[in-house]
Amino acid sequence: MNAELFTALTIFVLAILCGFAVISKVPATLHTPLMSGANSIHGIVLVGSMFIAIESDNPAAYALSFIAVAFSTMNVVGGYVVTDRMLQMFKRRPAAPKAEKAEA
Amino acid sequence: MNLSVLETLVRVAWLAGAATFVIGLMRMNSPATARNGNLLSAGGMVLAVAATAVFLAFEPRDTELNVTGWFIVIAGIALGGGLGLYMARTVKMTAMPQLVSLFNAVGGGAAALIAIDDYLRLTAAPSLQINVATVLDILIGSITFTGSLIASGKLMGLRITPSRPVTIPGGQLVTAALALIVVAGAIYLWIPNLSIPVMLLILAAALVFGVTMTLPIGGADMPVVISLLNSFTGTAVAMAGFVLDNPVLIIAGALVGASGAILTKLMADAMNRSVLNIMIGGFGGGEGTVGAAGGPGGSVRELGVDDAAIQLAYASSVIVVPGYGLAVAQAQHAVRELAELLETRGVDVKYAIHPVAGRMPGHMNVLLAEANVPYPQLKEMEEINPEFDRTDVALVVGANDVTNPAARRPGSPVSGMPILDVDHAKSIIVIKRSMGRGYAGIDNELYVNPKTGMLFADAKAGLSDLVSAVKAL
């Protein structure tokens, strides 16, 4: 095992623990937006798709990387937009009786 | 190793992006900061992607600029971004879970494609760690891809993917055979061997496994499945990060892998089911469980709109129990109108939200928030359950299994599932189209309770009639 792999593993394990710590505090009402938000975060795979597209040099690789780029962009853009649409709804509440600050 | 200035800047941008993902999720803790957190996370994503583009454009290479490659990046982003934007903006909020599942499918697919592409380039068997990461990426990414597509199809109610559990002939054998292919193939590749046919065999087995894993699971359990697959995608993306030696993919993937796992467990807990239990069989799939629930005696009392309106209008407290039936009938605005009308008459109105009301935890909150129901009126199960005893009328709209008192006794498919104590209210009005069963496929004992009046109507039409009837009083 080399040092670089060990660094990568360290990052991996700490990021997992970080995910556990952050998520366990989210209230149930926000679980759907949260799932959707987490879903958009793994759209980061777009970065990887861009790398393989630029390194492509044959039709098969072009085809694979094109699908990969399109798929991951759909994941990113669609994910963030739909999450925002959900969260937007928690904010606006006009007319209805005023109840300052929910049980936040 | 010393990094060039360019690479240093790009890595700083990736690190910043990864940090925004963590902070963004933290800010989703509270409704007040959640939207801001999501925007922050999106900003980090834009930064990370833009930095990658700059890096790929200006990094010194021994080959010429890959024009076709760039064309593919731009065309792919335009196509995927356009499609994603269109779907995300036009989807109805009731159809949102299946869209999330679809986005999850393509994310997993992209992660698998990265590993496949990487593998096709190899000229010799890679180091063990790359080999392991590649195979895991292909495996998990492909399972997620087909599994999420099936889950999405089930929620859409497509004919080829019915929401009821579908039994696959010899299901256990098929699963075992697929697992055997994958394990044998993986070991063969890790020995190490470089074999594209074996890689493709693992890919095919994983794609089929995604289908056979999801098809037998009933629609009611789909949220848990989607959440689990979301976690899978995160893990696949982290594996892609190992394959490409890219830290931001590892961090973001691991973060989502962990978050998805926690969320999956929370959802399964809310239904008092173990994740394993859900993955192994459909709801009520166990032998004889349905029969055991058989025949609650008693007869159903039908209630007219005017009677129901009088009960509601002269109550001092009403708890609305919304379920998926309300969502499919698009009745969230009608229910809010009725609630506001009752409030002007001095009735205290609250909403009881079961953790799995709707299609995903929190889904009902989103739907009601869309209809401008004030957030403080939405009460979670633990908070509202003690209040049913003091409540004059519980108005159940399109909710079924989550109100079934049979859950308190053993021997029913819903046994042990936490339910809303609707039957503790002084009287109960159920708006429902028919005596049809819920996802659990059993009769609801609440409906034959002497305190219960059934108002047979479509949720939206029934609520609108109630509004007019209350106004006329």
User: CA-to-CA distance for B187 and B87, rounded, in angstroms?
Assistant: 41
Q: Do A85 and B89 touch (CB under 8 A)?
A: yes
Which residue is closest to B41 within chain A, CA to CA? A41
**Percent of chain B predicted with pLDDT > 70:** 93
- B29 contacts in A (CB within 8 Å)? 25-27, 30
B393-397 and B378-380 beta bridge pairing: unpaired
Model confidence band, residue B192 (pLDDT cutoffs 50, 70, 90): confident
The pLDDT tens digits for B401-411 are 888 888 888 77
Q: Do B45 and A89 touch (CB under 8 A)?
A: no
Model confidence band, residue B207 (pLDDT cutoffs 50, 70, 90): very high
Inter-chain CB pairs, A–B, below 8 Å: 400
For the beta carbon of residue B175, count every other beta carbon within 10 angstroms: 17
Quote the ipTM score: 0.87
Q: Which of A37, A79, A90 sits opposite B369 (nearest CB)?
A: A90
Mean pLDDT of B87-108: 91
Q: Do B45 and A43 touch (CB under 8 A)?
A: yes
User: CA-to-CA distance for B227 and A36, rounded, in angstroms?
Assistant: 9
Model confidence band, residue B442 (pLDDT cutoffs 50, 70, 90): confident
Residue type at position B127: S
The pLDDT tens digits for B241-270 are 999 999 999 999 999 999 889 888 877 776
Cα–Cα–Cα angle for B57, B59, B64, nearest 5°? 70
Q: Which of A33, A42, A50 sits opposite B56 (nearest CB)?
A: A50
Q: Does the pLDDT value for residue B118 go beyond 60? A: yes
Model confidence band, residue A46 (pLDDT cutoffs 50, 70, 90): very high
The whole-number pLDDT of residue B285 equals 40
Q: Is B117 a catalytic residue?
A: no
- A71 contacts in B (CB within 8 Å)? 80, 106-107, 109-110, 113
Two tokens, residue B356 = 């799995």
Residues B303, B304, B307, B308, CA torsion sign:
positive
Half-sphere exposure of B270 (CA within 13 A, CB side): 28
- B18 contacts in A (CB within 8 Å)? 15
Chain centroid to CA B390: how far?
34
The whole-number pLDDT of residue B288 equals 32
The whole-number pLDDT of residue A96 equals 39
Instruction: Kindly list the distances between the CA atom of residue B385 and the CA atoms of B311, B350, B357, in Å, as whole numbers in the listed order.
Output: 21, 12, 15
Query: Which H or E run contains B310?
Result: helix B305-313
User: CA-to-CA distance for B466 and B308, rounded, in angstroms?
Assistant: 7
The whole-number pLDDT of residue A26 equals 64
**Percent of chain B predicted with pLDDT > 90:** 45
Mean pLDDT of A31-44: 90
The whole-number pLDDT of residue B403 equals 87
Q: Which of these is catalytic: B118, B137, B221, B401?
A: B401
Q: Does the pLDDT value for residue B294 go beyond 80? A: no
Strand partners, B378: B351
Q: Are B238 and B254 in contact (CB under 8 A)?
A: yes
Q: Do B66 and A54 touch (CB under 8 A)?
A: yes
Contacts of B170 by beta carbon, 8 Å cutoff, 6+ apart: none
Which residue is closest to A99 within chain B, CA to CA? B376
The whole-number pLDDT of residue A1 equals 67
Q: Do B107 and A89 touch (CB under 8 A)?
A: no
Choose between B341 and B159: higher pLDDT. Answer: B341
The whole-number pLDDT of residue B185 equals 94
The whole-number pLDDT of residue B172 equals 78
Choose between B372 and A53: higher pLDDT. Answer: A53
Q: According to DSSP H, which parts of B91-194 are helical?
A: 96-121, 128-156, 171-190
Q: Are B288 and B413 in contact (CB under 8 A)?
A: no
The whole-number pLDDT of residue B175 equals 85
Chain centroid to CA B440: how far?
18
Model confidence band, residue B327 (pLDDT cutoffs 50, 70, 90): confident
The whole-number pLDDT of residue A97 equals 39
Q: Do B91 and A82 touch (CB under 8 A)?
A: yes
Contacts of A51 by beta carbon, 8 Å cutoff, 6+ apart: B52, B56, B244, B246
Q: Does the pLDDT value for residue B445 go beyond 90? A: no
Instruction: Kindly list the distances between the CA atom of residue B18 and the CA atoms of B24, B35, B247, in Å, as whole numbers in the listed order.
Output: 10, 18, 9
Which among A23, A40, A41, A85 is the top mutation candidate for probing chain B, defined by the most B β-carbons within 10 Å of its own β-carbon?
A: A41
pTM of this structure: 0.79
**Percent of chain A predicted with pLDDT > 70:** 79
The pLDDT tens digits for B121-154 are 988 888 888 899 999 999 999 999 999 999 999 8
Q: What average pLDDT does chain B have?
A: 86
Mean pLDDT of B39-58: 95
The whole-number pLDDT of residue B292 equals 33
Q: Where are the domains of chain A?
A: 31-90
**CA terminus-to-terminus distance, chain A:** 47
Which residue is closest to A81 within chain B, CA to CA? B88
